C-alpha cells in the first residue's frame, strides 16, 4: 500500500511549484492531475511514471468527485508513491479535504503539500496586492459558483459591505450577477474591479473596470479567470510588472 501526496501545483507558472512538490513529483509512480495543474510539470516525472487525467474545468467536473476519490484510492493500492496534483493549493476550493477524508477512511496514509494559490498569486502577477496599508486590512476569497438548483444565494452578500478586498474564484460566468449584487448591497457603481485571465502564464490578461461596466469589458476573456473587487485594484496602474501593455 502506497502513500498519497495531495499536492498543490501552484497557479500556472511552473516556477511557482514548491521544492517539496517537485521532490515528490520526481519520485512519483503515478500522477493524478487536474486541468489547472500546468502539464509541463509532468515532464519532471521519472521514466515509467503513469499519468491519470481527472480534468476539472471550473465547476464542470469531467469525473465526479466520488470517482476521483476512488481513482486515487485504487492507485494507492497499486503504487508506492501517488501524487495527486491540483491547481493552486489543495485546500482553496480544491476539495483536498474530501480526498483526504476518503483516504483516511480506507486506511491510506497521505500528506498535504501546500501550493501557491491563484487567489493571491494571480492578483500579484497583475500588480494588485490583496492587502495594502491605508487601503484595506483584509481580504476574502469566495466562490463565484453557486449550485444551479438552489433558489436563493448561498453567498452571504450582506457580509461584503466592508472595504475588504474580495477575490471571486470560479465566477467569470456569473460576473454580471456578482457585480449587480454588490451594487445592490450598496457599493458604488464606479467601485473598482479587475478580471484576470490565465494568470501567471504568458497568456495572462488583466481587464480593469467598475462594477457597472466590468461585465461588458471582460466578456470575451478565456478561463481560468478570477475577479478582484476593491480599491486595491487601482494599484495595478503603478504596480503592473508582468503583462506587456
Q: What is the DSSP letter of 208?
A: E
Between residue 209 and residue 238, which ones bind ligand SAH under the rule CB under 6 A? 224-226
User: Where on the phi/psi map is residue 26: left (φ > 0), alpha (ψ -120 to 50), or beta?
Assistant: alpha
| Helix, strand and coil in the chain, % to nearest 5 | 35, 25, 40
Distance of closest approach, residue 68 Cβ to ligand SAH, in angstroms = 14
Would you call 190 a catalytic residue per the annotation?
no
Distance of closest approach, residue 125 Cβ to ligand SAH, in angstroms = 9
Contact indicator for 19, 115 with CB cutoff of 8 Å: no
When asked if residue 94 is in the footprint of ligand SAH (CB under 6 A), the reply is: yes
Distance of closest approach, residue 202 Cβ to ligand SAH, in angstroms = 11
Per annotation, catalytic residue among 56, 58, 86, 89? 56
When asked if residue 87 is in the footprint of ligand SAH (CB under 6 A), the reply is: yes
Q: Where are the beta strands (DSSP E) in 26-75?
A: 30-33, 50-53, 56-57, 60-61
- Rounded to the nearest 10 degrees, what angle do helices 96-105 and 65-78 cross at? 50
Q: Which stretch binds ligand SAH (CB under 6 A): 68-76, 180-188, 195-203, 231-239?
A: 195-203
Nine cell digits for residue 192: 473598482
Contact indicator for 222, 12 with CB cutoff of 8 Å: no
Per annotation, catalytic residue among 13, 34, 58, 89? 34
Per annotation, catalytic residue among 86, 89, 170, 187? 170
Nine cell digits for residue 29: 509512480
Distance of closest approach, residue 169 Cβ to ligand SAH, in angstroms = 4
When asked if residue 7 is in the footprint of ligand SAH (CB under 6 A), the reply is: no
Between residue 114 and residue 143, which ones bind ligand SAH under the rule CB under 6 A? 117-119, 122
* DSSP-assigned beta bridge partners for residue 206: 196
Q: What is the C-alpha separation between 215 and 222, in angstroms, rounded?
A: 13
Among 37, 76, 196, 208, binds ligand SAH (CB under 6 A): 196
Would you call 1 a catalytic residue per the annotation?
no
Q: What is the C-alpha separation between 223 and 200, in angstroms, rounded?
A: 13
**Contacts to ligand SAH by CB under 6 A:** 11-12, 36, 58, 86-89, 92-94, 117-119, 122, 169-170, 196, 198-200, 224-226
Q: Which residues are identified as catalytic?
A: 34, 56, 170
Amino acid at each position: 500500500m502506497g502513500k498519497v501526496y495531495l499536492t498543490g501545483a501552484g497557479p500556472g507558472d511552473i516556477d511557482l511549484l514548491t521544492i517539496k512538490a517537485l521532490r515528490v513529483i520526481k519520485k512519483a509512480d503515478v500522477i493524478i492531475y487536474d486541468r489547472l495543474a500546468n502539464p509541463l510539470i509532468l515532464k519532471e516525472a521519472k521514466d515509467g511514471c503513469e499519468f491519470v487525467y481527472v480534468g476539472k474545468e471550473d465547476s464542470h467536473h469531467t469525473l465526479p468527485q466520488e470517482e476521483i476519490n476512488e481513482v486515487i484510492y485504487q492507485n494507492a493500492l497499486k503504487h508506492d508513491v501517488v501524487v495527486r496534483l491540483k491547481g493552486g493549493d489543495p485546500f482553496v476550493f480544491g476539495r483536498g479535504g474530501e480526498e483526504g477524508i476518503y483516504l483516511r477512511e480506507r486506511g491510506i496514509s497521505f500528506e498535504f503539500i501546500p501550493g501557491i494559490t491563484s487567489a493571491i498569486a494571480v492578483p500579484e502577477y497583475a500588480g494588485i496586492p490583496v492587502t495594502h496599508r491605508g487601503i484595506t486590512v483584509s481580504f476574502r476569497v469566495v466562490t463565484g459558483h453557486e449550485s444551479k438548483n438552489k433558489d436563493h444565494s448561498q453567498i452571504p452578500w450582506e457580509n461584503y459591505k466592508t472595504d475588504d478586498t474580495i477575490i471571486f474564484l470560479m465566477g467569470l460566468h456569473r460576473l454580471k450577477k456578482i457585480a449587480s449584487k454588490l451594487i445592490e448591497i450598496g457599493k458604488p457603481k464606479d467601485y473598482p474591479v479587475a478580471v484576470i485571465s490565465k494568470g501567471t502564464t504568458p497568456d495572462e490578461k488583466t481587464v480593469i473596470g467598475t462594477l457597472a461596466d466590468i461585465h461588458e469589458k471582460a466578456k470575451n476573456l478565456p478561463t481560468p479567470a478570477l475577479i478582484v473587487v476593491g480599491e486595491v485594484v487601482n494599484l495595478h496602474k503603478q504596480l503592473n510588472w508582468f503583462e506587456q501593455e
